Every structure is written in C-alpha cells, then in structure tokens.
A and B are shown apart, each in its own frame.
Chain A
C-alpha cells in the first residue's frame, strides 16, 4: 500500500487559533515531497508543534485543510501510514520499554514480531526490559522513535528528536534519521537546531510567529538571503576603507571588528586584492564567507510580522 501522491504532506491555509485566543499557526501552506527529509525549522513558540499536532489529528485546525499520507489528519487511513513522535515521548512509566511497545503494537494492530527489530534499530534491546520511568532522556527519545517505526510508516513525523540529548546522543539520533529515509520513507522533522536541519534535511521550511516565511533547500535559502560575502583584513584600516568605498557601490562595504565584509561576487577577490596591494595596503587575510544557515534563520525569523494575538504563550 503506497502513498500514491507525490506529496506526503500538503497543507492549504492551515490555521489554528486556540480557545484562549492565541493564534498559533496562520495560513500555513506546506508541501513535503514523498521520500524527502523535510526540516521544519523555527524558534521556540513559532508554531511547529501545533502544526505537527494538527497533522497528527490531535488538534483540529480552525480553518484550512491538510492531507497527510494520503488521508485526512487523524483518520485511521492516514494514521495507519504514518508514525509520529510529537512533543515528548510519552509512555507508561510502570511498564518496561518492551511492554510499552507491545501496548503501541496492539493499538496500531501490528504484529508483536515487529518489536524486536525496532528495538534493535534504535539500539535499545539491552534496556528494553527496564521500566520506562528509569530511562534517561536519550533512551526515552529512542523508544519514541521505535514506537513511531512499529507500523513501518511511509511518513515519519519527529518533533525535536534531539531535544534534551547529550552530544553523543545527538550524533546517534542524526545518524538514525539518515538511516530512516532509506526505502523511500518521508521524514518530517521539526527542530530549532540549525545545524541539525542542515546536516539531515533535503529541504527546509522556516516558520516564525505561526507563518511559513521560507521554504527550499538550505542552499536556496542562503541564496535568497544574500548568498556569500568577501571578508578582507587590511591595514591601514582608513586607507583600505577609502579605497574599497571608491571601488564599490555604497552599502557593499561594511566594517566589523576591523574586518571588511564586501557584498560582491567572490570572483572579484583577486582584482580587489591587486588594487589594495598596488595602493600600498597590506592584505593579511582575504576569504569568501558563506552565509550560515544561522544568519539566514535570524534574518527570516526577525522579519516575520507579529501576529494579531490577545495574549502571549502559544500552544507549542
């Protein structure tokens, strides 16, 4: 049974206003392609978890529509083809990890023979007989992923999967996510950690204040936000600044901490270097600086308009 649509997730005008009046998500149009790892990026409180809850059928949208794994969110048809870990991994504290998976398997109607393979997949076999309440954050996260994998879902939704993990656990989780995409599985991953998204995702959607402010590959987002810059360290500073401002257009030259940041085509680097040296300026450093995803993220999220909302504190 395959998801025949080329889109694993599609939302149109998805909006959620809580009963408290908080507008958490506004007119969200999201498209996650089948087989890709899609990063849903946004600062805390941006509306990521609210969106994922709507896609999982836990919350009803105030307006708008969504199609998830070929069905309406929360419908048995959609749920049968998706696995999810929304917010924190939630299990019964008095049951062992293995028994918790047995409970999930019974709800999901999958054979219990699936339990051992998913435990192995998340490297939890040795601790599976211990009570869930004794687990560390990392083990809870891994059990959450194991539960999401029980149904062998075509779409996997993971909400902040590395949240609370130590560096080693974070690296292991990233590796696991990379493995999960094999076999044409779609992964929708929410995070506020930029390098996580940069390292694992094919495409990224940036959400800020409930609105999708950008969508594309990491490179596309960088390009949209100004691309690269040429960094020059030269002395004497005054002389170098006068020369560079005479060579380039206003606004292309910026100085920060004694380093010039030139918004020019990087291919001009050699010519600029020659002019500076010819005029007696010492150039001690000249390099191309790719704009980091962090710069892009900050730029996009700071530009997002504030939502009309009576009170702060979203559902996320």
Chain B
C-alpha cells in the first residue's frame, strides 16, 4: 500500500486537472460565496426584499459565520468538484489502460486501491484545510474593508466544522471513485455523479421532501444527510434549523460515515474481483 501511495502522490501532484479542480473550487467559493455576496449585499438593488436587512445578511461572509457559509457552498460546488476528482482518479486508469500497467507491478490489487484511497483521503484533507484557510483569509479581508468587527468561531466549532467539511468531501470523493470503478469510463462516472447530485439530490429530493413515504427514503440520501449536518452550524443571524431538515446532525454524520464505508468497500470488491481487459 505504501508503494501504491508513493506512486499515487507523484501522479496526483503532476496532474494539472487536479490543480485546476482545486483552483475552480477555491475561486468559486471566494468569488460567489464571499466577494460577490458581500458586494451585492453592501449595495443592494432597490427592489431587494428580505425579512433580514441586507446589512445583517452580509455578515454571512464575516468570520463569525465562517463554518456555516463554507459548508453551505461546499455542499453543492464542493460536492460536484469532489465527485469529479474521485471519478478522474479511478476512471482515467481504465480510459488510458494504465490499470493494466499498474496491476502487473508488484502490489496486490487491494494494496493498489488502498494506496489510491489513502491518497484521496490526504487530498481531501488538504483541500479542506486550504478551503477553510482561503475563506478565512477572504472573510478577514472583507470584514476589514467593511470596517466592522466580528469574532472568530471557537476552536471547538472550527474543529467540528473542519471534520464535517472533510467528511462531506470524503463521501463525495468516494462516490466518484466508486462510479469510476463501476463504469470504467470517465464520462459515465462524472456524468452519472453530477446528474445524481443536481437532479437526484438537489431537484427531486427538494421537490419531494414533504411527500409522506418518500420523506423516509430521502433521509437516507447523502446530500440530505449532509444538509442535516450543515444545519447544525447555524448562521449567527438566522437559525438554519428552523428550515426543516429531514435529519439531525448525529443521524446525518452516521449516514455519511456509512456511505463512506459502503462506497469504499464496494469499490474495493469490484476492483479486486473483476477481470481487467477482454470482452
């Protein structure tokens, strides 16, 4: 597994697609989640209508709301980027046929995939840290520009937020990784993953969230579970728990952990058992 991890680190570091994805994630978060939000709420249009005044709403981008704001944006943009990252990491090996080259070296198949999984865990950890650091810096700059005061979240809250973000990133990465192995096609893995995220979770789950019977099923979905976890980190001026979440933070965390295990084990089983090449 160590041999595989070392090989993966070289491949990952030198692959531009990974850096581009990381750049897109940070840029989108900073521009949409912070800069644009701040600019819009600082100069709200005349027809701007909200129960909460814009001057209060813009505090969303200040340090006191660092964790809930990052989690809110990461649950859509972050999830999509992580599905692509996970899908690319496995499906590309089939597309380029490099899977054949890897599997005829020394490590066992399980060791090869465990090395890849370990690398993905490290990447998601680094992305989580970088995301929080970049958004914290942006938040600090914006509050300085605004000339108001804001407090930073407590160390405990920061740690819990870090854990929640890492867990969510890891689940979506594992989902992409699993789809890459299952479909053996980059397009199918990414297309399938994003379709599920934006149609299955964001559209259908939202439309049917109040339908009895269906609601019970929705409680088992990863996106719904992540939303439950995110809601526990409420904005300072608006209690997100008030908007009905289908699951609470504890159940959401357990479900996400279960998905992480299921995607990993299923991916491993298919990877180890399935023939490589041939019809």
Task: Give A residues with C-beta under 8 Å from B.
Answer: 16, 18, 20, 22, 24, 49-50, 53, 56-60, 74-76, 79-80, 82, 84, 86-95, 99, 102-104, 106-109, 147, 151, 313-316
> Which one of B2-10, B26-34, B138-146, B196-204 is at the interface?
B2-10
> Which one of B102-110, B122-130, B209-217 is at the interface?
B102-110
Would you call A79 and B104 a contact (CB within 8 A)?
A: yes
Would you call B14 and A94 a contact (CB within 8 A)?
A: yes
Would you call A57 and B100 a contact (CB within 8 A)?
A: no
Residues of B within 8 A of A58 (CB): 100, 103-104, 275-277
Would you call A18 and B279 a contact (CB within 8 A)?
A: yes
Would you call B108 and A106 a contact (CB within 8 A)?
A: no
> Bound complex: CA of A24 vs CA of B107, how far in Å?
27
Most buried by A among B17, B96, B106: B106
Most buried by B among A57, A79, A82, A107: A107
Would you call A108 and B101 a contact (CB within 8 A)?
A: no
Task: Give B residues with C-beta under 8 Å from A.
Answer: 3-4, 6-7, 10-11, 14-17, 96-109, 112, 275-279
- Which residue on chain B has the smallest CB distance to residue A157? B104
Would you call A107 and B97 a contact (CB within 8 A)?
A: no
Residues of B within 8 A of A109 (CB): 3, 106-107
Q: How many A-B residue pairs have CB under 8 A?
A: 105
Residues of B within 8 A of A86 (CB): 100, 104, 277
Would you call B105 and A87 a contact (CB within 8 A)?
A: no
Residues of B within 8 A of A16 (CB): 278
Majority SS of interface residues in chain B? Answer: helix
Q: Are A107 and B279 CB-contacts (below 8 A) given A58-B104, A76-B108, A90-B100?
A: no
> Bound complex: CA of A84 vs CA of B100, how far in Å?
10
Would you call A92 and B96 a contact (CB within 8 A)?
A: yes
Most buried by B among A57, A74, A80, A90: A90
Would you call B278 and A59 a contact (CB within 8 A)?
A: yes
> Bound complex: CA of A74 vs CA of B14, how far in Å?
28
Nearest CB in chain B: distance from A103 CB, A = 5
Q: In the complex, which of the residues B4, B100, B277 contacts A107, with contact meaning CB atoms closer than 8 Å?
A: B4
Residues of A within 8 A of B11 (CB): 92, 95, 103
> Bound complex: CA of A74 vs CA of B98, how far in Å?
16
Most buried by A among B6, B97, B105, B107: B105
Residues of B within 8 A of A151 (CB): 105-106
Nearest CB in chain B: distance from A34 CB, A = 20
Q: Are A59 and B97 CB-contacts (below 8 A) given A79-B106, A99-B10, A106-B6?
A: no
Residues of B within 8 A of A107 (CB): 3-4, 7, 102, 105-107, 112
Q: Are A314 and B279 CB-contacts (below 8 A) given A103-B11, A106-B7, A107-B7?
A: yes
Nearest 9 Cβ contacts at the A-B interface: A315-B278, A90-B97, A107-B105, A106-B7, A108-B105, A58-B276, A106-B6, A59-B275, A107-B7
Would you call B278 and A18 a contact (CB within 8 A)?
A: yes
Q: In the complex, which of the residues A60, A87, A106, A313 contacts B3, with contact meaning CB atoms closer than 8 Å?
A: A106
Would you call A103 and B7 a contact (CB within 8 A)?
A: yes
Most buried by A among B7, B11, B103, B278: B278
Residues of B within 8 A of A147 (CB): 101
Nearest CB in chain B: distance from A282 CB, A = 59
Residues of B within 8 A of A84 (CB): 104
Would you call A93 and B96 a contact (CB within 8 A)?
A: yes
- Which residue on chain B has the smallest CB distance to residue A311? B279
Nearest CB in chain A: distance from B89 CB, A = 12
> Bound complex: CA of A57 vs CA of B3, how far in Å?
19
> Bound complex: CA of A79 vs CA of B107, how far in Å?
8
Would you call B279 and A90 a contact (CB within 8 A)?
A: no
Residues of A within 8 A of B278 (CB): 16, 18, 24, 49-50, 53, 59, 314-316
Known: A58-B103, A74-B103. 16 other contacts (CB 8 A): A20-B279, A57-B103, A59-B276, A74-B109, A86-B104, A88-B97, A89-B101, A90-B101, A91-B96, A95-B11, A104-B101, A107-B112, A109-B3, A147-B101, A315-B278, A316-B278
Q: Are A53 and B277 CB-contacts (below 8 A) given A76-B108, A92-B11, A106-B10?
A: yes
Would you call B98 and A92 a contact (CB within 8 A)?
A: yes
Residues of A within 8 A of B97 (CB): 87-88, 90
Q: In the complex, which of the residues B4, B7, B10, B279 contacts A313, with contact meaning CB atoms closer than 8 Å?
A: B279
Q: Are A22 and B279 CB-contacts (below 8 A) given A80-B106, A91-B98, A106-B7?
A: yes
Residues of A within 8 A of B4 (CB): 107
- Which residue on chain B has the smallest CB distance to residue A89? B101
Residues of A within 8 A of B107 (CB): 76, 107, 109
Residues of B within 8 A of A18 (CB): 278-279
